A and B are shown apart, each in its own frame.
Chain A
């Protein structure tokens, strides 16, 4: 089909149902919003959605996420400005849910802006513990701070280091490495978010991703966990990066929760072969979730 870019057509053999995948890319993205416990009780939030005529349902695997219909622009409501919710696609809520930081733990969100996942981590920690949100870009930090203030997250410190060079003077129990990527998973026909780039860009992005993942693994404490995630289908940015990290240090890939609907990570692609344990990572496709394409690997550093 001419309106599916070639970068995405090359995954014809990866998706379990290409026709369903293509059909999903032609549908507009549904609206998902994450309830924010720092500002309103769940009961009051649900009551308010219902009384405003918004149809909603909870999505499996992400307990605070609501798929809504009839909300007049998620960023244009009183609820948004009061911080009752944050617009966040279903699959983008999965990395914090899988990382599951305990209250009181020390957590780093290495590439944090614009802050939806940071605020979600804070909620999962019940606002207790050191939560550092890092981003290299100053203007993105401004947006990050605005979101965190609107959402009332009480335990977030914002740092501005280049992720690959993050200082190693303080270590963390958990690190979220939701790395910059080519963003192929955000593509929808007629949507404006995804920008097509060339092969050189892909290679450069993959190098940065590996450097970020290795840094995350260095600053996580022994016994701690790292969640590596992207919003792309490209194996070069997903399994290849995780496999490269596995080849450099002793690591354990953890299985992902059973209630998530995705495909296991792959072990070969265009002449490259990776260890079988890569099947413990997971690819999330739009035709399974009606959300963005995503990839997650949950990694434990031996204690």
Chain B
């Protein structure tokens, strides 16, 4: 049977979505959050959810909200898209062309943004696209660096479409 996330895991969820992205607590309250160790999952609560969870064996449930990356948790593209309309902070707006570049190359150099270093919500003309990692300029890279956290496998159709549209193709 799946178990509810422990207090430390719930705190991690709050730290990322409420504190880092400014998403109001009420937007996350509807989720029943549980842990499988490396992933925190969210499932919308339902009248008979407990009975179903006790009676049947499930492979996966709901949507991934946070994934463990070493000692840290990172937000998922899936969750950022779902709660995207509530994001207030650490949002990095990119043009369609910049989004295609980061999808194809995996990173975008020379990004200067008024965001805190760390995970950001990548947004484009159609709203929140997913998760990126922003690094401030330092001795290794004197320009800001934005690293894609979008799954290449999940976005393969868009990547091939963008590659086909490149000049000279």
The answer on a CB contact under 8 Å between A132 and B52 is yes
Tell me the complex Cα distance, A44–B87, Å. Answer: 19
Tell me the complex Cα distance, A146–B63, Å. Answer: 10
Interface code B143-156, partner A: CB below 8 Å = 1, 0 otherwise?
A: 00000000000110
The answer on a CB contact under 8 Å between B44 and A76 is no
Any A CB within 8 A of the CB of B46: yes
**Chain B residue with Cβ nearest A103:** B46
Minimum Cβ distance to chain A for residue B18 (Å): 19
Among the 9-residue stretches B8-16, B105-113, B134-142, B157-165, the one with 4 or more Cβ atoms under 8 Å from chain A is B157-165
Q: Report, as a range, how many residues of chain A touch the other chain.
A: 35 or more
The answer on a CB contact under 8 Å between A159 and B51 is no
Any B CB within 8 A of the CB of A26: no
Known: A154-B44, A169-B55. A73 touches B63 (CB 8 A): no
**Chain A residue with Cβ nearest B128:** A82
Known: A82-B129, A104-B47, A154-B44. A76 touches B56 (CB 8 A): no
If over half of A's interface residues share one DSSP class (helix, strand or loop), that class is named, otherwise mixed; here it is loop
Any A CB within 8 A of the CB of B127: yes
The answer on a CB contact under 8 Å between A75 and B157 is yes
Please pick, from A77, A80, A83, A167, the residue contacting B56 in the complex, using a CB distance under 8 A. Answer: A167
Please pick, from B48, B78, B154, the residue contacting A152 in the complex, using a CB distance under 8 A. Answer: B78
The answer on a CB contact under 8 Å between B126 and A82 is yes
The answer on a CB contact under 8 Å between B161 and A157 is no
Tell me the complex Cα distance, A79–B46, Å. Answer: 29
Q: Which of A82, A127, A145 has the most B CB atoms < 10 Å from its CB?
A: A82
The answer on a CB contact under 8 Å between B126 and A156 is no
The answer on a CB contact under 8 Å between B56 and A152 is no
Tell me the complex Cα distance, A132–B59, Å. Answer: 11
The answer on a CB contact under 8 Å between A73 and B161 is yes
Interface code A122-159, partner B: CB below 8 Å = 1, 0 otherwise?
A: 00000111101000000001000110111011111111
Which residues of A are at the interface with B, using a C-beta cutoff of 8 A? 38-39, 48, 72-73, 75-84, 104, 106, 127-130, 132, 141, 145-146, 148-150, 152-161, 167, 169-170
Beyond the given A72-B161, A78-B158, could you list 11 further A-B residue pairs with CB under 8 A, ordered by the A residue number? Answer: A78-B126, A80-B158, A81-B158, A104-B47, A106-B48, A130-B49, A154-B43, A154-B44, A154-B62, A154-B63, A157-B61
15 A-B pairs in the complex with CB atoms less than 8 angstroms apart:
A76-B161, A77-B161, A81-B154, A130-B46, A132-B52, A141-B59, A146-B154, A149-B63, A154-B30, A157-B43, A159-B56, A159-B58, A161-B57, A169-B55, A170-B51
Which residues of B are at the interface with A, using a C-beta cutoff of 8 A? 30-31, 42-44, 46-49, 51-53, 55-64, 78, 81-82, 96, 124, 126-127, 129, 154-155, 157-158, 160-161
